[in-house]
């Protein structure tokens, strides 16, 4: 296992997809902060409404000063930007592509077939890939969170930073990391099932974008029996994760649900890899 894991980590260090993914995250974060800055300048009259395609709609209360005393930049803050990056599935989409490339490309090159031919057990091969994907996800998630915070420092300034509840930010990042590790496990399973790069990316993105719509429909169908599938699907929990006032019940359910889905994905992946021929 250690030799295989070392080889997988070497591939990650030499690959460019992780670096490019973090560049995309940085670009998205920068765009979010610039948009917030433009909103504040439009509200203050420094820029015309509609500049750069940004249009600000203000209610009469906001225009008379009863609301909106706080700038949009400070109102959203670092926590709000993190919510857009993680709960909005921006990072999930990037991670889906990175994991799909990492898992599937070796089927096309014949590397997986060579490993099987060298006598490594199939479960060891799959689990080493899964474990290295977990390490990839942890690094990617923490790097994306760090980038979001560092880029926000010059935009928010000392006053904006002092308004940030860092304990809540840390807990939010931790919960989102838990969800992303589970998502990565599901992406590895999808890559194993499809063994085709285009199909893996398409299915992973489809799961991210449309599975929550399916669980919402199931909520409507199951409301009479008092069962809500959205409470037990990790992507719904990811989207609905609060930024503050974390309830113990939500945190506990998030941990259990994420662990169950991750273990299920790992077990199904091992079973499929053991029973399916490698071409």
Confidence at residue 170, expressed as pLDDT on a 0 to 100 scale: 94
Confidence at residue 61, expressed as pLDDT on a 0 to 100 scale: 46
Confidence at residue 13, expressed as pLDDT on a 0 to 100 scale: 76
Distance CA 114, CA 117 (A): 5
Which position has the token pair 């008379």? 64
Confidence at residue 68, expressed as pLDDT on a 0 to 100 scale: 46
Confidence at residue 278, expressed as pLDDT on a 0 to 100 scale: 76
Distance CA 263, CA 133 (A): 14
Consecutive 10-residue runs of the chain (279 residues): their mean pLDDT? 75 82 93 85 68 58 45 82 89 92 82 78 88 93 94 84 88 95 95 91 93 91 86 93 91 96 95 84
Confidence at residue 109, expressed as pLDDT on a 0 to 100 scale: 75
**Would you say the C-alpha torsion 264, 233, 172, 210 has a positive or negative sign?**
positive
Mapping DSSP to helix (H, G, I), strand (E, B) and coil, where does residue 241 land? coil
Which position has the token pair 């398409």? 202
Confidence at residue 39, expressed as pLDDT on a 0 to 100 scale: 79
Question: 232 — phi, psi (to 5°)?
Answer: -130, 20
The answer to whether the predicted template modeling score (pTM) of the entire model surpasses 0.85 is: yes
Mapping DSSP to helix (H, G, I), strand (E, B) and coil, where does residue 45 land? coil
């Amino acid at each position: 296992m250690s030799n295989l894991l070392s080889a997988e980590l070497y591939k990650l260090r030499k690959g460019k997809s992780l670096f490019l993914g973090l560049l995309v995250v940085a670009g998205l974060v920068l765009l979010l902060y610039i948009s917030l800055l433009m909103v504040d300048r439009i509200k203050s009259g420094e820029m015309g409404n509609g500049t750069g395609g940004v249009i600000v709609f203000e209610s009469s209360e906001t225009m008379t000063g009863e609301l909106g005393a706080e700038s949009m930049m400070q109102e959203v803050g670092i926590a709000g930007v993190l919510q857009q990056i993680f709960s909005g599935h921006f990072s999930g989409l990037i991670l889906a592509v990175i994991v799909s490339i990492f898992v599937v490309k070796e089927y096309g090159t014949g590397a997986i077939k060579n490993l099987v031919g060298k006598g490594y057990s199939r479960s060891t091969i799959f689990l080493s890939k899964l474990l290295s994907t977990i390490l990839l996800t942890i690094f990617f998630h923490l790097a994306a969170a760090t980038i979001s915070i560092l880029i926000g420092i010059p935009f928010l300034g000392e006053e904006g930073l002092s308004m940030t509840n860092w304990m809540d930010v840390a807990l939010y990042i931790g919960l989102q990391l838990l969800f992303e590790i589970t998502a990565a496990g599901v992406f590895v399973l999808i890559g194993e099932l499809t063994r085709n790069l285009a199909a893996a990316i398409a299915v992973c993105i489809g799961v991210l974008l449309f599975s929550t719509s399916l669980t919402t429909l199931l909520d409507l169908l199951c409301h009479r029996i008092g069962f809500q599938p959205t409470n037990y699907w990790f992507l719904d929990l990811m989207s609905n994760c609060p930024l503050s006032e974390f309830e113990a019940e939500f945190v506990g359910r998030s941990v259990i649900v994420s662990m169950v889905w991750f273990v299920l994905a790992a077990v199904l992946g091992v079973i499929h890899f053991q029973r399916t021929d490698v071409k």
